Structure 1
Amino acid sequence: MTRYTAKALPRQPGVSGWVAMLPDRRPRPALLGAVTADVAIIGAGFAGLAAARRLSQLDPTLQVAVLEAGIVGGGPAGRNSGFIIDLPHEVSAESLGSDSATHARRDIFKNRTAIALAQGMAEEHGWGPEVFSLSGRYSIARGAAGDHHLADYAKQLEGLGEAHRLLDAEETARLTGTRSFSSALFTPGTAMIQPADFVRRFADALRDPVTVFEQSPVLSIERQGSGWQVTTKAGTVAAGRVVLAVNGHARSFGLLPRKLMHVFTYASLTKPFDPALLGGERNWAATPALPMGTTIRRLSGPEGDRILVRSRYTYNPSITVSDAALASAGRVHDRKLASRFPDLAGLPMQYRWAGAMALTWNSVPVVDEVDQGLWLAAGCNGVGATNATANGIVAAERALGHLSQLGQHYAEAAPARAIPPEPVATIGGKAALRWKEWRAGDE
């Protein structure tokens, strides 16, 4: 009898500011007793919720049970920086040849498919811009190397026919309220979300015959006849098909050995400050000009404005983060805040947290049928909100035997390559992260 048993349950380091800024959630009831469903989805993050939505679009009569280990929004989705990005994420100095242009266009199609699903939910349920906003994003530079990359990327976007606007130092200062940045590149197609609020509302918007169970960690997935039995602490789901949408936590079930690299990234959020202390616009979001640099968001709210700083990456094959690692990243964030916003000198951080990512060696997603009727959605590869949503869409389609254009693109992609055995993987992973962060410098 085939049985996949969870060797560990997810643990979330630190306090996500996105969650802390929201009212306390009244969670959906936990799974109690035995229920049946056509499809069981494990995980109510971006991938799991997208899968539930897509299943309902393809067949509104399907009975779907969504099982969340904790409270919706408390996992990695609610620790995201809130960018659903439409364009290739990394700025590259390489020119776009025909093969890379084709790859870029496929990437853009995938990303915009994810955004369309999220936007459809937001528009259908009337969520305001504080939850979902198609407001675009900036890539922002702090020196000559970043300036060069942004200018080169702008040329690539021109070749792809994608809208964009370069900002010089003066325009960037008017945007940010500080002269600490040297240039910026604006692209209008990124959706910005309050990630914890977004996934909460998404889960609550799913209606019968889709049922969301919170505080229902899955302990095992076991073959039962032609289907599966999913067991939690207090109940079971008998389902013909299962979508395991837990990204790197799939390893805890013994799946994808040597296919996923487990990385954590870190964020801090300041206490509210009087917006008069800092000029510029009060709501903007910027990813770094160089990969592995620093992401910045300025958020306005009723208590004042806040700055979010995200940087630092660690390789964590145990899928856990120590308090010392969180504190160390926080000290880096404090220095980055002070150097970028001298007008806010002394402003303390209120919340610090880490969020898990799962990367594949060759940066491809893993959306596979790992056993008959058991589908896996994993490998967000660092652009979590976008890629996880797309992975969930494709997993749902494949579970129903539906082949879309997006699914065709996934089918034509190379398989995930095996990572080296231990201890080489950990030694190499840590060294690669340190080198990439060094290369990003102060960006």
Structure 2
Amino acid sequence: MNNKDIIVKRLPKDPGPAAWHQILPPAPEYPMLVDDKTVDWAIVGGGFAGLAAARRLAQLCPGESIALLEARRLAEGPGGRNSGFMIDLPHELTSDNYAGARDHDLQQIRLNRAAIDYAREIALELGMGREVFDPCGKMTASASAKGNVHIESYRQHLESLGEPYKIWNARELQQWTGTDFYQQGIFTPGAVMIQPAAFLRLTAQGISSRVQIFENSPVLRIEQGAEHTLHSRHGRLRAKRVILAVNGHIQSFGFFPRQVLHVFTYASMTRRLTAAEVATLGGVPDWGILPADPVGTTVRRVSDCMGSGDRIVIRNHVSLNQDLEARESNLQRAARLQDDSFARRFPMLKGVAMEHRWGGRLCLTMNSVPAFGEVEERIWSACAQNGLGTVKGTLSGMMAAEIATQQQSPLLSDFLAHNPPQKLVPEPFLSLGGNLTMRFKEWQAGADL
């Protein structure tokens, strides 16, 4: 060991099952890294960023060898815990209505749509059906007078951006969802809803002829040199260039100290609904609602995907856990909140139990910028997706591949036009203040929680 070694301080640890992964048939297994191997490129992390980087490298460097290391099984990490919205419009979780400054939002829309187009290209190439990749648009809905104010504020912002939208009334929302819980909604057409675990699995299969994929192969140490050596439990991988697509765990590699926030969100998924329950609920088979208040409750209804059955997903509650580990108390509070949110929205489904409960990690920065760039010689970070892992992860992976191969494009220039992540306030003030603020915002969300 020498002073150029990067020692990984901790490995990913997520509470509960990755439910989107669990409800699918068993996935093809990829080998564990054993013995010594040498490649041109190594990618650490098999989520949206890692797979996007791998595919883009395969496009840009067709004669070079690429390996991807995933610490667990593919789709067991945050990617398989995501709510599955690929959102093209501004989605600032720290704002009151997702909106930011106009020029910044226009730039983000261009970037987000480029990432969605890239994901659409993957879906078309691999023949993904609408049950995996559904370009259905996005509904943001309110259940209270306060939520209606958020909807109106968001509508005005969309007007200023020149973006199309449609206002839905309570009757239209009931016909669509089957529940009379919502008062008003605003629909925008550019978003996509995905089954995140299925999308990741199929993308991995699609690139596996060009990219060596290793599962259950966490990186424990990186020895820097003319060829970097990535040490795993049972093998070593030598690579000239490395992309770290590990989101918040970039801090476990020693980079961006005191610059990223580790936020957990929590969700519950019902058992399969019976045919009688589906008939009682009514509405359309597949839909998703984002809350008018960013701290409110996200709801998805999903019909059968690869034998998974008709289910409802409820997501709410957030916690700041700077040690990257959620607490049992967080899961317990989330379960209480989600059971209440489900009961208020779906009284006609009384007795339908939650089959899966889980938490997933988000990585945010105070100024909503990525933790991106060359952090050591020939080692790049593609991290900090700021709560929009499907889109920002895809974008970061694409851009990491492009900057590492010295590409030039207007898209890359747009992506690089950001400040570095701001420094955070010291502990314990950060965690105390952050969690108190989140609990207050949950209380403020009222009926929209």
TM norm structure 1: 0.95
Q: Please say if 1:201 is aligned against 2:211.
A: no
Residue 303 to residue 3, structure 1, CA distance change in 2 (3 Å): closer
8 Å contact from structure 1 (residues 16, 78) kept in 2: yes
What letter corresponds to residue 279 of structure 2 in structure 1? Answer: A
Alignment partner, residue 108 of structure 2: 107
Question: What CA deviation, in whole Å up to 9, does each residue of 1:196-221 have, x standing for no partner?
Answer: 11111111110444211111111111
Alignment partner, residue 251 of structure 1: 251
Alignment partner, residue 394 of structure 2: 389
8 Å contact from structure 1 (residues 241, 373) kept in 2: yes
Shift of 1:68: 0.3
Shift of 1:411: 2.1
Shift of 1:442: 2.4
Residue 324 to residue 432, structure 1, CA distance change in 2 (3 Å): closer
* Separation of aligned partners in 2, 1:287 and 1:128: 23
Alignment partner, residue 263 of structure 1: 263
Question: What CA deviation, in whole Å up to 9, does each residue of 1:356-396 have, x standing for no partner?
Answer: 11111111111111111110111111111111111111111
What letter corresponds to residue 328 of structure 2 in structure 1? Answer: D
Alignment partner, residue 164 of structure 2: 163
For residues 117-128 of structure 1, what are the structure 2 equivalents within 5 Å? 117-128=118-129
* Separation of aligned partners in 2, 1:433 and 1:406: 34
Residue 179 to residue 94, structure 1, CA distance change in 2 (3 Å): closer
What letter corresponds to residue 162 of structure 1 in structure 2? Answer: E
Shift of 1:27: 1.4
Alignment partner, residue 54 of structure 1: 56
Alignment partner, residue 291 of structure 1: 294
* Separation of aligned partners in 1, 2:160 and 2:84: 28
Shift of 1:93: 7.0
Shift of 1:398: 1.2
8 Å contact from structure 1 (residues 90, 290) kept in 2: no
Alignment partner, residue 358 of structure 2: 353
Question: What CA deviation, in whole Å up to 9, does each residue of 1:9-39 have, x standing for no partner?
Answer: 1112102221121112231111111111111
8 Å contact from structure 1 (residues 367, 394) kept in 2: no
What letter corresponds to residue 380 of structure 2 in structure 1? Answer: W
* Separation of aligned partners in 1, 2:97 and 2:164: 19
SS in 1 for 2:433: helix
* Separation of aligned partners in 1, 2:153 and 2:426: 37
What letter corresponds to residue 402 of structure 2 in structure 1? Answer: E
For residues 101-250 of structure 1, what are the structure 2 equivalents within 5 Å? 101-224=102-225, 226-250=226-250
8 Å contact from structure 1 (residues 34, 237) kept in 2: yes
8 Å contact from structure 2 (residues 295, 316) kept in 1: yes
* Separation of aligned partners in 2, 1:236 and 1:404: 35
For residues 423-438 of structure 1, what are the structure 2 equivalents within 5 Å? 423-438=428-443
* Separation of aligned partners in 1, 2:206 and 2:27: 15
Shift of 1:327: 2.2
Q: Please say if 1:379 is aligned against 2:387.
A: no
When structure 1 is superposed on structure 2, of 144-153 and 266-275 the one drifting more is 144-153
* Separation of aligned partners in 1, 2:98 and 2:27: 48
* Separation of aligned partners in 2, 1:425 and 1:218: 29
8 Å contact from structure 1 (residues 165, 185) kept in 2: yes
Q: Please say if 1:43 is aligned against 2:45.
A: yes
SS in 1 for 2:26: coil
What letter corresponds to residue 289 of structure 1 in structure 2? Answer: A
* Separation of aligned partners in 2, 1:289 and 1:152: 10
What letter corresponds to residue 21 of structure 2 in structure 1? Answer: V
Alignment partner, residue 24 of structure 1: 26
8 Å contact from structure 1 (residues 68, 213) kept in 2: yes
Question: What CA deviation, in whole Å up to 9, does each residue of 1:103-149 have, x standing for no partner?
Answer: 11111111111111111111001011111111112101001121122
What letter corresponds to residue 202 of structure 1 in structure 2? Answer: T
When structure 1 is superposed on structure 2, of 49-58 and 156-165 the one drifting more is 156-165
Alignment partner, residue 283 of structure 2: 280
8 Å contact from structure 2 (residues 67, 214) kept in 1: yes
SS in 1 for 2:303: strand
| Percent of aligned pairs sharing the same letter | 43
Residue 303 to residue 259, structure 1, CA distance change in 2 (3 Å): closer
SS in 1 for 2:101: helix
Alignment partner, residue 84 of structure 2: 82
SS in 2 for 1:218: coil
* Separation of aligned partners in 2, 1:205 and 1:93: 39
When structure 1 is superposed on structure 2, of 351-360 and 269-278 the one drifting more is 269-278
Q: Please say if 1:343 is aligned against 2:348.
A: yes
For residues 298-377 of structure 1, what are the structure 2 equivalents within 5 Å? 298-301=301-304, 305-377=310-382
Kindly tell me the number of residue pairs found equivalent between the two proteins: 440
Shift of 1:95: 12
Shift of 1:436: 2.5
8 Å contact from structure 2 (residues 92, 98) kept in 1: no
Shift of 1:304: 5.1
Could you list the runs of 5+ residues in structure 1 that have no partner in the other structure? none
What letter corresponds to residue 47 of structure 1 in structure 2? Answer: A
Q: Please say if 1:416 is aligned against 2:417.
A: no
What is the root-mean-square deviation of aligned Cα atoms in Å?
1.8
8 Å contact from structure 1 (residues 140, 287) kept in 2: yes
When structure 1 is superposed on structure 2, of 424-433 and 289-298 the one drifting more is 424-433
SS in 2 for 1:425: helix
8 Å contact from structure 1 (residues 265, 357) kept in 2: yes
8 Å contact from structure 2 (residues 269, 356) kept in 1: yes
8 Å contact from structure 2 (residues 223, 229) kept in 1: yes
